[in-house]
Structure 1
Amino acid sequence: MTSIHDHTPGPDLLAEEQTLRLDHVDELTCHRIGAQIAERGLREGRSVAVAVYLGEWLVYKTMLPGTSLNNDIVIDGKRRVAGLEGHSSLWARNRHLDAGTTFEEATGLPLPAWAPFGGAVPLVTTQGARQGWVIVSGMSQEDDHTFAVDGIRAAQEAPDPADPSAVDQSR
């Protein structure tokens, strides 16, 4: 587990966010990202909860075996923190640590309604529009963050089903 003095600096997390842009975000994008993260969790035997939002609309959600109501509560808290800060929940946590304080001390916002832990990552288009959130809960906050980031990266690499040139014409 990362200590208060050993964490990814805020600027590094912002730079990472800049690489996570998608051409477009819609319901299908959200479903594919959520399903990819859930499948990975199953393959790796992880107890993870996954939620993907398009704006305020919960488009995808699953709770894998071993998760609990607590994961559901933490997902909501991570979404609130990320939405307040406009960036990943890990960035929100670490930017306060970089300043020598904590999210809780700086904002006065209480747990569990506000969960300043890694795992909520914004869905942003290449034009810079924030369209939603990918949120993972159930592992360390760093692993939650990484699963969300990897889910978005997989969506970047997947062919766009709305693009006719992406359809396999060999059949």
Structure 2
Amino acid sequence: MDGYPSFEEIVAEEAELQLASFTHEDALALGMRLLDLARADGLPVAVDVRKGAQQVFHAALPGSSADNDSWIRRKVRVVERCGTSSLAVGQLWRERGTTFAQASSLDPTRFAAAGGCVPVLVRGVGPVGTATVSGLPEVEDHRLVVRALRAHLAAAGNRA
């Protein structure tokens, strides 16, 4: 699809973004990084960072709404269930000629394979949390999270 990275590109990007560790302080720092990037660009988004099942950081900027919070919960459920980003899950099924909703038979009011939620991966451990943005077109939501993760890695020297 035009403008969408392939499933393989998204999965390769996730492998690149693995952290050495992920503490509550890291979750807060990542949340602030997301918030700072969104503020700098004047983006009307809600952001969310979780360590395991615990929501450690959540903020909503002007122009966002409670609908964005609902989208965040739905995207997080997809990542927790599938272990890969919500954009990757959606793209996998698009490349197969269908949709996640059709293929999974999961309730679309509870699960959304729309871009914007990325698993927080610790090298040698796997998924330990999520970072999510809602409020922009799905590829832009995803890219904002990726930018924040890259900045977090660079600032922390957190490559394992």
Normalised TM-score (structure 2): 0.93
- 2:41 maps to 44
143, 149, 156: which is aligned to 2:146? Answer: 149
Structure 2: which 5+ residue stretches go unaligned? none
Q: What's 2:9 paired with?
A: 12
- 1:123 maps to 120
Residue 70 of structure 1 pairs with residue 67 of structure 2: yes
Q: Which entry has the higher C-alpha Rg, 1 or 2? A: 1
1:103 corresponds to which of 97, 100, 103: 100
Shift of 1:110: 2.6
Structure 2 residue aligned with 1:133, among 130, 133, 146?
130
User: Which aligned segments of 4 or more residues in structure 1 are displaced greater than 4 angstroms?
Assistant: none
**d(CA) in 2 for partners of 1:105, 1:111:** 9
2:84 is matched with which residue?
A: 87
Moved more, 135-144 or 122-131: 122-131
Amino acid at match of 1:59: V
Amino acid at match of 1:98: E
RMSD: 1.4
Percent identity at matched positions? Answer: 31
Cα separation, 2, equivalents of 1:12 and 1:89: 14
CA distance in 2, matches of 1:113, 1:153: 29
5+ residue gaps, structure 1, are: 162-171
Which whole-Å CA distance do the structure 1 matches of 2:157 and 2:51 have between them?
18
Q: Deviations over 1:102-161 (max 9, x none)?
A: 001101123231111000001111224211000000001011001111111111111369
Q: How many residues align?
A: 157
Distance (whole Å) between structure 1 residues aligned to residue 70 and residue 156 of structure 2: 34
